[in-house]
Structure 1
C-alpha cells in the first residue's frame, strides 16, 4: 500500500467513523486538496464510505471558473460526486478579504455537509497557524491550532502530520494535475509571508521544525483540553438558571480560574474571546460585585452585565417593540422577535368578558400600580419587577397588557385581581417567551 494512503487509513481507523458515512472533501484544485481527494478515492476501495468533492468559487480570481472545471474533471475521472458552490464575498472590514472568504467558504461547506467535512491542511499549514497565533499573543486555545479531528464540527484533517514533500511525491507518482494560485506568492498576506519567507529560513537551520512543532501543538492542545475540563467543573458550580453566573461564587475564585470560567461561558455562547485587557476589566469588576454593582462591558456584539449579584450575557440589539392589538390569536410575535403565548381556560387568568381592545405594549410608567390581591394594597410596576428580579435593562421593554389604557397585567408576572376570571367564566392567560439568543435573561 502507498505510504500516504496507509497514513490516511490509520487516521481514518483512529476516528472510528461510522460505516458508509459521507465524506465531503473541500477541493480547491491546489496540490494538497487534489492529493487528498485522490488518496481518499483509493481508501474508498478498502473501507465503505460515500465521497463528494466540493469546490467553493469565491469569484475573486479571473481563473476561478477554470479551477472549478479542473476539480470537476478530477471528480469525473475518479467517479466521485462533484459540487460547485459560488459565494459572494462581502466587504467585512473586521475580517478583511481573506477572513471573509474563509467565513463564506465554511458556510458553503456546512450547507452541503452530511457527516464529515475533510480538509487538506498539512504539517506546514499547522506550523503557519502556530506562528500566526504566536504573533497575535494567543493563549492555549489559539496555540492548540487545528485538531486532526474536530468532534463538535465533524471536521477531519488527516494530512496534519504529513510533510509537503510526501504530498509532492504522491502527486508525481500519480501524475495528478493541480492548480498553482499566483496569489499564494503575494507576501502582503501574513500567511504567505510566513510560507514563502520565514518557514524556509527556519527549515534551513532546523529541517524537522514542522514535525517537532506539531508535537508541541499536540502537547498544548492536551493541556488546553485538561484546563477546559477543569473550567467546565468550575463553570457548573457558578452556573444559575437561564445561563447566568453567580457573581458571589465567581468572585471567590482565583483570577486565573475566574478568567477561564468567563472564557468558557463566552465560548458556550459562541462569543469571540475578549482581549487580555478587557478580560482583566471583567475580572476586576467581578471581584467587587455586590447588590449595587452595575457591570456593563461590551464583548463581540454582546454585553456582560450584572444585577442582583448575577452576571448576564445579553445582545446589544434594540429590544423595543411596537404596540400590538390582541385579536384572539394563540400567539403574538412582537416586532423585537419575542413572543407572547396565549392560553384559554375556564376560571383561569383574566376574564374574557371584561376585556375589550386588549393592547400589548411596553410599560407606560414604572410608578403605575396594579392591584394583585383584594386584601392588599396595589403594587407599582417597579415593585413587581424588583420582586421578580427582572434586570433593569429588561424592564422598559417588558410586555404588559392594557385595556383602555389601564394596566391589567404584567405578562407572566402579575394579573389584576379586578379583571380575574370567575370559576365558571372563560379566562385568558398571557405568557412571555423570551428571546432564546440572550443568555441569563
Structure 2
C-alpha cells in the first residue's frame, strides 16, 4: 500500500519496527495483530504506523474499539475509529460493554477490566497496546504510592509473552507521538475526562508528573529506566525462586524443613513467586499477611493458610499448595460408571468393581468406624486417616463408598479386601496427594514460547 506519509520523527517508526521484527521472525506465517484503538492520540498514531509497516512486514492488522458508554461522546469516538480504519483499509471490530459504576476498585479500574475482557477474547497472535513512556512513568508513581514491590514497580512490559501483549511505543514519549501526529496530519479524539483530577491517574499526571517534568526535564526517561531495572531485578528474584523451589521440593517429604532452612528473605521471595505463578489472578499478598503465613509454616505442624485463591498447606513436614476453597461434594449414587466426579477431581472405578453397583458415595459420617473382617475390632476412620497421613481439613471431604450398610472404600484410606477383590481399588484423582504431586512443579520456570 503506497503512502505519502512523512517518516518524521524517524525513530518512532523504527522503534515499532524493531519491536515487531523479532515477533515476525519467531512466527510461522504472517503475524496477526489486533490493535486496541480508543481514537486518542496514542492508539491513533500507532494505527497509522502499523498500517504503513504492512509494506515492510508480513502482518495482518485489525483494530478493536471498545465502547464503554461512559462518555456522551462515546458514539462519536466509535464512528471516528471506524472512519479512520476504513480510510486505512484496516478491519475494525467494535464492542459495547457494561461497566460496573459501583465497583469498589473505582470506575477507572472497572472500565479497564471490562475493556481487557473483550480484548483478550479476540483471536490473534498478539494484542497491540499503545502505552507510551509517560504512561509507564505514571504507572510507576501510582504503584509506588500503593507500596509496590519489585514486581509491581517493573510496571508494564514491552513484550508480555504469557498474555501475548506487545507495547511497541513503551519507550516513546507523548511528545514523540504528538510530533508524529502533527507531521502526518493525524486527527484524534480527546477524552473530556482527562483534566478531571478525581481520577487517580489524572491527578498524578497534572499534579505530580507535570511539575516534576518542569523541574527535571529528563524525569520520564529516568522513571522508565527505573522500571527496566526493576524488571531486571524481578527476573533475578524469579530465577532465585526457581532454584529454591527445586531445593525445597514442594509436596515431597521434608519440604517444610527445607523451606525453613532458607533465609527469611528467600523464603518470602519463594512464597511470593509461587503465589504469583500458581494463581491466574493478579494477586499479591500484603507483607503482613505474607509474614503471618511464613510464621504459621514455621511454628505449626499442621496448618492451612490462604492467600487469595490459593492455600499454603503444611502437614507432617510436607509443604504444598491447593485451592483456597475446596468443594464439598454432596451424596450421590454410583451406577457402575467407569468414573464419577467428586470434589476437585474424580473417582476412577476398576472394571472388577462393577458387580458391586449400585453403591452410595458420600462424605464421612460422624464417629464412623470400620472392621477389617468378622471378629476383628472396629477402628475409627479418624485413626485410619491419621495413619494414612490425611490432613485434618481433608477428612470431611473423603469419598466413602457404601453398599447397603457395608463400607467398601474410603478414598486415600482403605479398601475392604474381602469385598473388593484383593488389592484392586478405586482411585481418587483430586485429593490432597494429587495436589501435593502437582505442587512439585510450582515455582518452576513456565515453558512459554515467544
Match in the other structure for 1:221: 231
Q: 1:130 to 1:439 in 2, by over 3 A?
A: farther
Paired residues of 1:344 and 1:429 also in contact (CA < 8 A): no
Selected match of 2:333 from 314, 325, 333? 325
Paired residues of 2:388 and 2:412 also in contact (CA < 8 A): no
Instruction: Establish whether residue 258 from structure 1 lines up as the match of residue 267 from structure 2.
Output: yes
Secondary structure at 1:387 match in 2: helix
Q: 1:421 to 1:296 in 2, by over 3 A?
A: closer
- Give the Cα–Cα distance (whole angstroms) in 1 for the partners of residues 196 and 362 of structure 2: 57
Q: 1:121 to 1:73 in 2, by over 3 A?
A: same
Instruction: Establish whether residue 204 from structure 1 lines up as the match of residue 214 from structure 2.
Output: yes
The 5 A counterparts of 1:286-435 are 286-289=297-300, 293-317=301-325, 319-334=327-342, 336=343, 338-345=345-352, 350=353, 352-353=354-355, 355=356, 357-371=358-372, 379-411=379-411, 413-421=413-421, 429-434=425-430
Q: 1:166 to 1:377 in 2, by over 3 A?
A: same
Paired residues of 1:342 and 1:428 also in contact (CA < 8 A): no
Superposed CA RMSD in Å reads: 2.6
- Give the Cα–Cα distance (whole angstroms) in 2 for the partners of residues 245 and 277 of structure 1: 26
Q: 1:69 to 1:222 in 2, by over 3 A?
A: same
TM-score, normalisation: structure 2: 0.87
Q: After TM superposition, give the deviation of residue 413 of structure 1 in Å.
A: 4.1
Q: 1:17 to 1:121 in 2, by over 3 A?
A: farther
Question: For structure 1, which segment, 246-255 or 361-370, has the greater mean C-alpha deviation from structure 2 after superposition?
Answer: 361-370
Q: Which runs of 5+ in 2 are unaligned?
A: 1-6, 438-450
The 5 A counterparts of 1:101-116 are 101-116=111-126
Selected match of 2:82 from 54, 59, 72? 72
Instruction: Establish whether residue 189 from structure 1 lines up as the match of residue 190 from structure 2.
Output: no
Match in the other structure for 2:442: none
Selected match of 2:93 from 67, 76, 83? 83
Paired residues of 2:369 and 2:378 also in contact (CA < 8 A): no
Q: After TM superposition, give the deviation of residue 93 of structure 1 in Å.
A: 4.1
- Give the Cα–Cα distance (whole angstroms) in 1 for the partners of residues 249 and 69 of structure 2: 46
Secondary structure at 1:80 match in 2: coil
Secondary structure at 1:340 match in 2: strand
- Give the Cα–Cα distance (whole angstroms) in 2 for the partners of residues 388 and 38 of structure 1: 65
Match in the other structure for 1:151: 161
Instruction: Establish whether residue 277 from structure 1 lines up as the match of residue 273 from structure 2.
Output: no
TM-score, normalisation: structure 1: 0.88
Q: After TM superposition, give the deviation of residue 428 of structure 1 in Å.
A: 7.9
Paired residues of 1:56 and 1:85 also in contact (CA < 8 A): yes
Q: Deviations over 1:340-380 (max 9, x none)?
A: 233314xxxx4x44x35410110113541142x89986653
Paired residues of 1:303 and 1:313 also in contact (CA < 8 A): yes
Paired residues of 2:335 and 2:357 also in contact (CA < 8 A): no
Q: After TM superposition, give the deviation of residue 331 of structure 1 in Å.
A: 2.6
Selected match of 1:170 from 180, 185, 191? 180
- Give the Cα–Cα distance (whole angstroms) in 2 for the partners of residues 435 and 187 of structure 1: 51
- Give the Cα–Cα distance (whole angstroms) in 2 for the partners of residues 124 and 418 of structure 1: 73
Count how many residue pairs are aligned between Structure 1 and Structure 2.
424
Paired residues of 2:129 and 2:165 also in contact (CA < 8 A): yes
- Give the Cα–Cα distance (whole angstroms) in 1 for the partners of residues 104 and 305 of structure 2: 20
Q: After TM superposition, give the deviation of residue 68 of structure 1 in Å.
A: 1.6
Selected match of 1:22 from 32, 47, 57? 32
Q: 1:326 to 1:112 in 2, by over 3 A?
A: same
Paired residues of 1:370 and 1:408 also in contact (CA < 8 A): no
Question: For structure 1, which segment, 75-84 or 5-14, has the greater mean C-alpha deviation from structure 2 after superposition?
Answer: 5-14
Q: 1:167 to 1:245 in 2, by over 3 A?
A: farther
